Structure 1
Amino acid sequence: MFTIYGYNTFNPEKAMLAAEELGIDYRYVKVELGRQEHKSPEHLARHPLGKVPVLEHDGNFIIESAAISRYLSRLHDHRLYATDPLQAAHIDGVMDMLICHVGPQAGTHFWQEVIRPGFFKEPTDTAMVDGAKLLLGSVLPALDAFLSDTEFLCGDEVTLADTTAFPYFRVQESTSMDISEYPHLTRWYKAFAARPSVQRLLDKLASQPTLLPSA
């Protein structure tokens, strides 16, 4: 039995989307960050830093979304990944580019434009948002170029690079993050959003709506 402990933010969504693409039957358990459930002794036993996502499988806990995604892939004949070392390195390289360069900027957008005003009633720091846009502008052209002659980020088949990327770019649905000037990236995003795996993911997230922090 697979259980993913998470929250409705992009890091848990990356692990969940990989599971959906692999056709894995898993249970989603929402950890309410606003109510400090991630700092409970029960959750700290799963993740020593009190983070999400965490995958529980056969009594073992796997942390970090990329590690979870690779683990699930290896259990399913390396689907979404690769047994060939060169191709695996290519997928890893794009995943690392996304995690190191896109993720922090998507996180800034989400924190400044959703979390601060919505949860803490604080104003958005527009300078931080502008800085995120500038930094994204240095990496998005490369991702757009990857997609100039392929359907997906690492070729013509879905890989973990795509399941890592999509939740980051989904942040644009609730913030001012914008990829519209990148035609190949925009085409990829729209096509990926229509995949059945994404609809299943969204259905799971909607089944456990976010609660506001306790007073």
Structure 2
Amino acid sequence: MKLQWDHIIHYIHDLSSFQFPEDLLQLHEGGRHEALGTYNDLSYTDLSYIEFIDVFDQNILKQAAASEEQRLSFAATLERTDYTEGWKRLCFRTDNIEALNDHFISCGLSTIGPSKMSRTKSDGTVVSWQLLYIDDDRQDRELPFFIQWGDDDVKRTEQLESMFQSVNITDIALMTQNKDQFIQNWIDWFNADYKDGQLLIPDGPTFTLFEGDQESIESITLSGIEHPSMEIRGATYHFHA
């Protein structure tokens, strides 16, 4: 059972008219999550990406967020955070979501899923995946969620590599009110390593922790772009060449 970095979600109101400033990142039309009332654009680095998300029908989303299956979903996060723009969730991918679910249960956690999801692309093709959520009401933050794609990494690379950019997400800064507990949870639950103030997950960015007065994603850092830091629709982006 592998656990790897997959993507981060940035909520943007009126996404259909959004363009990344100075075209520093390329955005590609994703599709619609019909059962959740959301749609997205994607900016790929490799198989990992930034998901820019918006809502096409708040009534659909509200109904989904009230359901048992979707109450912890990435879409429900938008409802819980009052549709404020900015960073929302982290996602990790696995090659065996059933084994990952068993692992979480062995850690004493409750889960929701795995649940099957899909979205329809503009060309009519359907992308499918399964999602898994940790159900832990002791947490004040939006916990990472977990995905297993319908296709393996080799096939997905063949399908998506034309959209890969010479850019990498090298670090994600996280603020927490209880740093020690946060670190221990990631070590126990996600088999993360911790070194020099950073949590490490294979084949992904470092996760730099800061103790503060809230639970939040503070910023991301991208390599391959030389540009001053930017605040974009509630989200902080740092860059380095």
Q: TM-score range by the shorter chain?
A: under 0.3
Provide the TM-score with structure 1 as the length reference.
0.28
Higher strand share: 2
Higher RCO structure (Cα 8 Å, ≥6 apart): 1
Provide the TM-score with structure 2 as the length reference.
0.25
Higher helix share: 1
